[in-house]
């Protein structure tokens, strides 16, 4: 399959931001780390000087049918039935839903799929989706880890179904392993999943020996690892795998909870590490995928660390 290049990778990039006020209405219990203030912190940093050229769009509501690209219809209906008319309902001990959660997650899926459409159409160079709830822990038939549906997985399938992408790479630098994405693509060689994450840590998956059909590349990090260790994992495992795979699209599961301030883990990254990793993946996207890159927010629970890391990430997307 031959696709047109969307950028010459020289000078300022055209970066689109998708977000929506509905994401603030996915409510979680008091004290829960995955809270609406996460997006408020991101909104504030992206309103600062230097982000004037960010192409801001309101996220569209997604097509419910596209959820079944990654999850069986019965599971989808089961989650929909759990949405309460008022208050907060628990899916499990960590994962909750509130009256607007269905619309929020459907709009997160809509944004991810629209981002894929944008980069294949060449209307922008890359896209950052600031949405919640996150998605990478959602397995084929299990909602968990704050996640209802797997937005990155759905977007990858959307790229294949609508745009004819033959190979999609999902790179996940969230500090928690994306067990859901690994589960969905375990036996599918058309999608590569690469992950750096702390191990041992929730959800307990992500060993180097978990390789699927050769399309799963895990690079676990031990507690206390810093940016040098993280960068070495990219250079030794993730980037060579991408070069071998030659994807038509790169999707980032962009969690920022490997930041040293984050309360849920013990990896010591700083903003410059996310900037560096973004640049590396942009380079691979330009080498193999005509520049097509979509980044989707996952974790990140210290508001300062999250905001400044997103700022560094988006600034790099805009600069190239």
Burial class of residue 244 (count of CB atoms within 10 Å of its CB; 0-12, 13-18, 19+): exposed
Catalytic residue among 26, 137, 197, 313: 137
* Phi, psi of 95, deg, nearest 5: -115, 125
Whether 58 contacts 97, CB under 8 Å: no
* Phi, psi of 194, deg, nearest 5: -120, 135
Q: Is the peptide bond before 56 cis (omega within 30 degrees of 0)?
A: no
Task: State the Cα–Cα distance between residues 182 and 213, nearest whole angstrom.
Answer: 11
Report residue 307 CA to chain centroid gap. 16
137 given a catalytic annotation: yes
User: Residue 43: beta bridge partners?
Assistant: none
Task: State the Cα–Cα distance between residues 222 and 218, nearest whole angstrom.
Answer: 13
In angstroms, the Cα distances linking 217 to 78, 87, 178, 210 are 31, 40, 12, 8
Where in the sequence numbering do the catalytic residues fall? Answer: 137
């Amino acid at each position: 399959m031959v696709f047109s290049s969307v950028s010459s990778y020289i000078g300022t990039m055209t970066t689109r931001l998708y977000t929506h006020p509905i994401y603030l209405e996915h409510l979680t219990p008091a004290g829960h780390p995955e809270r609406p203030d996460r997006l408020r912190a991101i909104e504030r940093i992206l309103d600062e000087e230097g982000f004037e050229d960010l192409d801001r769009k309101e996220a569209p509501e997604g097509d419910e049918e596209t959820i079944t690209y990654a999850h069986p219809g019965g599971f989808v209906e089961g989650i929909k039935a759990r949405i309460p008319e008022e208050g907060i309902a628990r899916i499990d001990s960590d994962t909750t839903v509130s009256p607007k959660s269905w619309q929020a997650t459907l709009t997160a899926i809509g944004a991810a799929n629209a981002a894929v459409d944008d980069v294949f159409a060449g209307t922008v160079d890359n896209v950052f989706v600031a949405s919640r709830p996150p998605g990478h822990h959602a397995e084929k038939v299990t909602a968990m880890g704050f996640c209802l549906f797997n937005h990155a997985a759905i977007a990858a399938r959307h790229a294949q179904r609508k745009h004819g992408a033959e190979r999609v790479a999902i790179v996940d630098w969230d500090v928690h392993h994306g067990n859901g994405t690994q589960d969905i693509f375990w036996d599918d060689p058309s999608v590569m999943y690469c992950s750096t994450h702390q191990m041992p840590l929730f959800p307990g998956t992500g060993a180097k020996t978990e390789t699927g059909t050769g399309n799963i590349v895990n690079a676990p990090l031990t507690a206390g690892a810093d940016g040098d260790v993280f960068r070495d994992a990219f250079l030794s495992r993730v980037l060579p795998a991408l070069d071998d795979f030659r994807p038509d699209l790169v999707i980032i599961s962009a969690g920022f909870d490997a930041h040293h301030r984050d309360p849920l883990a013990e990896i010591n990254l700083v903003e410059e590490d996310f900037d560096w990793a973004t640049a590396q993946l942009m380079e691979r996207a330009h080498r193999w995928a005509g520049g097509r890159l979509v980044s989707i927010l996952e974790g990140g629970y210290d508001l300062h660390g999250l905001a400044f890391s997103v700022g560094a990430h988006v600034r790099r997307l805009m600069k190239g």
